[in-house]
Amino acid sequence: MTGLRVLAVDDVPPALDELRRLLAEAPEVAEVEAAGDAVSALKMIQADPFDAVFLDISMPGLDGLELASLLAKLSRPPVIVFVTAHDGHAVAAYGIGAVDYLLKPVRAERLAAALSKVVKMAAAQEPAAAPPDTMAALPVESGGRTRYVRRAAVRFVEAHGDYVRLHTADGVHVVRMPLSRLEEYWAGHGFLRVHRGFLVAIGAVAELRSDSVGGLLAHTDAGDVPVSRRHARELRERLLHAAQHGELGSAP
């Protein structure tokens, strides 16, 4: 978060100007807008979301508590801080979910404490960053050299003791890693366990075939992969879904 976008709401112009000035001077705040009544504030928030709203309580028409109750129903509600001349509404304010309750005249140190709470709350509401894709390529050691095999190039994976064999269109590459660990990392990237010793890239399956003894094989351009009975149904369902979305016939 680079800076807060804040809305100040108060029906008394001098009080609104002073609150806006204090917020604009705060290092945590990047942008401050102002509204002279709750209805105008609601329209502004619906048109362009704010990180936080510093809100007076006693206003004609729709008051601050009523506005805060409406804001709490938004899919991404702003953080609420009440700013008021009266301390009798504190219990109701915190019950609505306000992070702080400032009494007028607002002191700079109290505003700073409130903004610290706002920053923490706003950061907690932001979508979590996606974890880094640490297994998008695997290092393969051969003859004193290291090359990297991209996951997207792998058609299927075969267990081989403490190693796995990565089958690609241009050959087989051996990596020291248990199949179960690779399955954990690659399951969310289009790979499915189809046999005790095999993972297959769903997008690489061109067709299903029967072997000489009636077993099921998943055919790829890097070879055929045996499919056990316990995994056959899930594989067919995943292939049907991929076919409906035009995802068959290529690596993931």
Domains of the chain: 4-125 (3.40.50.2300), 139-244 (2.40.50.1020)
- Whether the full predicted model's pTM is greater than 0.85, yes or no, is no
Q: What is the DSSP letter of 151?
A: G
User: Residue range 83-90: average pLDDT?
Assistant: 82
40, amino acid identity: S
Q: What is the pLDDT of residues 6-23, one digit of tens each?
A: 999 999 999 999 999 999
Provide the H-helix boundaries in 128-177: none
Environment class of residue 142 by beta-carbon count within 10 Å: exposed (0-12), middle (13-18) or buried (19+)? exposed
Half-sphere exposure of 71 (CA within 13 A, CB side): 34
Task: Report whether 179 contacts 165 (CB < 8 A).
Answer: no
Average pLDDT over the chain reads 90
109, amino acid identity: E
User: Residue range 66-89: average pLDDT?
Assistant: 89
Confidence at residue 175, expressed as pLDDT on a 0 to 100 scale: 93
Confidence at residue 143, expressed as pLDDT on a 0 to 100 scale: 79
Confidence at residue 245, expressed as pLDDT on a 0 to 100 scale: 73
Confidence at residue 56, expressed as pLDDT on a 0 to 100 scale: 95
Cα–Cα distance list, 85 to 12, 31, 101, 103, 105 (Å):
12, 25, 10, 5, 7
Task: Report whether 59 contacts 8 (CB < 8 A).
Answer: no
Instruction: Check whether 61 has a pLDDT greater than 60.
Output: yes
Residue 10 has φ and ψ, to the nearest 5°, of -160, 140
Half-sphere exposure of 156 (CA within 13 A, CB side): 26
Confidence at residue 252, expressed as pLDDT on a 0 to 100 scale: 47
Confidence at residue 158, expressed as pLDDT on a 0 to 100 scale: 98
User: Residue range 132-161: average pLDDT?
Assistant: 88
Spell out the residues 6+ positions from residue 44 whose beta carbon is closer than 8 angstroms to its own. Answer: 7, 33, 35, 50
Beta bridge mates, 154: 168
Higher-pLDDT residue of 38 and 250 is 38
**pLDDT > 70: what percent of the chain?**
94
User: Residue range 95-102: average pLDDT?
Assistant: 89
User: Residue range 191-207: average pLDDT?
Assistant: 96
Give dist(CA 219, CA 214) in Å, integer. 15
Give dist(CA 205, CA 252) in Å, integer. 10
Give dist(CA 55, CA 119) in Å, integer. 17
Q: What is the pLDDT of residues 123-133, one digit of tens each?
A: 877 665 556 67
Confidence at residue 249, expressed as pLDDT on a 0 to 100 scale: 59
User: Residue range 175-181: average pLDDT?
Assistant: 91
